[in-house]
Structure 1
């Protein structure tokens, strides 16, 4: 009896082991989808998805791909991709074929071309550039496609938390849509220029190289900013992107189209970041350097020396305390080009008053 039971047990164990080994093969044989699977009905798209799809369809024809080459060649759009030194995005501004992009996209180049959403390539020329705002206006030449100017919104009434959408050409990938929110407002973008852009829109909508010059949109598909820069250790999107507010873009674009440049009231100084003044325990605007032949230079105002030692700090304007370059820039704009202001300048603990005339510093050399 015991031997028979043992034999039966061994047989069952062998059968179970065989079934365990064969199970994947049998399942593959019996349950494999040998014909196309039946599609499961999805139902309607969510309202938010439908809105985003409509936004992209409406706005994408207004977004272009900008190419620029340092040296002219027979064709900007040849297969010699290594000769295309700069690439970015742009927005169609009006029915005359003006395109807004970043100045750094086309700066230092001799040949510019644009690819429209239709796939058509057209050449373009620079109408005007405003390096201190990182904006430029291009004129498209002899296209066959109709223009689709982008809808313009406002940036003055934006609120942190609003939805944002960016369309551009990151890494050369045409017509890429990303989304996020307004992360912060009123940011200052360090650029090293005499006029560092202020009031910038910060967004976490992914912005990468190639998005520069493309639109930042609100949920209504209106332009609220022109994407300009990112903060990233790797050069890729880290969720901190900056856009030039559309209210500034509107003003600058109008001046560039009308006059070819943007008059910029100032005295020709480059100021340190506010955090540097705080670190040094100084209250005022630290002068890093002055531009050659500027009102500040002619008035004897000096920047930091070669060792980085601070020389001059502007502490008052017309007898009123000043704490930041943003306040000082606002005073320049309110006073206007050609008018004079009185600065209180501190050097080595000594204060002196200096009268300077506000000039158009957009034409001054940055050297």
Structure 2
């Protein structure tokens, strides 16, 4: 009996041979990760917060997020809430190199911010930005970040929805987030969401959770909206946290009008800092909210008195005036401080 010269392979070898024969990659995401990961950075911030154990005292606090390099001259996108009140920002590259950076522009409504490195690293990898308008629900994506400080961690999932949450400055473009089931935890904020072409299609913003950890409901700001707010319109970063006050709060604090913004915290070396805004010093509980009293109360911006309509309107003249500010333009605020109305000035 004659046997044909066929070599019998075990299943693992047979499968590997088939993959090689058809030039199929066993793990395309592994190759994509190796390609794009050098453009992902860890964002380290320090800021001053109220010390709950000492009255009228401040203490240093540190935070961590993620960012993505988008240009050869050292521009980095991240989440606004990561750097909004940062006194200092340090960017850590995959090589371990540390370089300081400054907030260049930011937008709270879309939760995106733009940093500029103070100097360039020895080697700089730049990510390619995609078109988030073309992203479809059901597409596979991956996210790189630093969950709980574990740097350059990969998580894989799908786009599970597109969520509109409002409109920006009276424009027709809605504030839109891409929803994903990819694992996102504290430290992922500001990190890139990639498509399977290795293009950035979103900037990780937040999760919805009852446990405090990932439950499969993560959200990323679309990259198209991030580009418009940070690169085209160059949204203004003020470096101040405020609480909106209505008639009841204004009456309790003897404010000479029904609406205002109670200053909570001010980032060092920010426009608000150079303007001379004073933050609060006395933490209290107000209903279910925690707030800080003793700071300035903003009652006018750019010569326009604050009202309920102006605070809520996306197309208010205040928002328009602030959005049009250029470098060197004068910034003006009217504040209520220690029973007196005073005006503060600086330049952008």
Distance apart, 1:225 and its partner CA: 0.4
Tell me, yes or no, if the aligned pair for 1:132 and 1:194 is still in contact at 8 Å. Answer: no
Tell me, yes or no, if the aligned pair for 1:69 and 1:109 is still in contact at 8 Å. Answer: yes
The answer for the alignment partner of 1:164 in structure 2 is: 141
SS class of match (2:66): strand
Distance apart, 1:49 and its partner CA: 4.0
The answer for the alignment partner of 2:152 in structure 1 is: 175
The answer for the alignment partner of 2:231 in structure 1 is: 254
Instruction: Return the structure number with greater relative CO, CA threshold 8 A, min gap 6.
Output: 2
Tell me, yes or no, if the aligned pair for 1:187 and 1:202 is still in contact at 8 Å. Answer: no
SS class of match (1:210): coil
Q: Pick one of 320, 330, 342 that aligns with 1:359.
A: 320
Alpha-carbon distance in 1 for matches of 2:86, 2:309: 35
Q: What TM-score, normalized by structure 1, do the two folds share?
A: 0.56
Output aligned runs, 1:228-247, within 5 Å.
Answer: 228-247=205-224
Instruction: Count residues in correspondence.
Output: 241
Alpha-carbon distance in 1 for matches of 2:118, 2:100: 6
Indicate the structure (1 or 2) with the bigger Cα radius of gyration. Answer: 1
Give the direction of change, closer, same or farther, for the CA distance of 1:128–1:51 in structure 2 (3 Å limit). Answer: same
Tell me, yes or no, if the aligned pair for 2:178 and 2:222 is still in contact at 8 Å. Answer: yes
SS class of match (1:127): strand
Distance apart, 1:148 and its partner CA: 1.3
**1:85 maps onto 2:62 in alignment:** yes
SS class of match (1:160): coil
Q: Pick one of 64, 71, 89 that aligns with 1:94.
A: 71
The answer for the alignment partner of 2:16 in structure 1 is: 43
SS class of match (2:109): helix
The answer for the alignment partner of 2:177 in structure 1 is: 200
Q: Pick one of 40, 44, 48 that aligns with 1:63.
A: 40
Which protein has the bigger helix share? 1
The answer for the alignment partner of 1:218 in structure 2 is: 195
The answer for the alignment partner of 1:346 in structure 2 is: none
The answer for the alignment partner of 1:185 in structure 2 is: 162
Q: Could you tell which deviates more after superposition, 127-136 or 84-93?
A: 127-136
Alpha-carbon distance in 2 for matches of 1:235, 1:199: 23
Query: How far does the alpha carbon of each residue in 1:287-321 deviate from its partner, in whole angstroms, 9 at most, with x for none?
Result: xx8875487955x7499xxxxxxxxxxxxxxxxxx
Q: Pick one of 79, 84, 95 that aligns with 1:118.
A: 95
Query: How far does the alpha carbon of each residue in 1:11-68 deviate from its partner, in whole angstroms, 9 at most, with x for none?
Result: xxxxxxxxxxxxxxxxxxxxxxxxxxxxx86837794643111110111011000000
- Structure 1 alignment gaps of length 5 or more: 1-39, 72-81, 263-268, 271-288, 304-324, 339-356
Query: How far does the alpha carbon of each residue in 1:247-277 deviate from its partner, in whole angstroms, 9 at most, with x for none?
Result: 0111122147xx5628xxxxxx99xxxxxxx
Alpha-carbon distance in 1 for matches of 2:39, 2:319: 38
Distance apart, 1:129 and its partner CA: 2.1
Q: Pick one of 31, 34, 40 that aligns with 1:54.
A: 31
- Structure 2 alignment gaps of length 5 or more: 1-11, 49-58, 238-243, 246-258, 262-298, 326-332, 337-348
Give the direction of change, closer, same or farther, for the CA distance of 1:194–1:105 in structure 2 (3 Å limit). Answer: farther
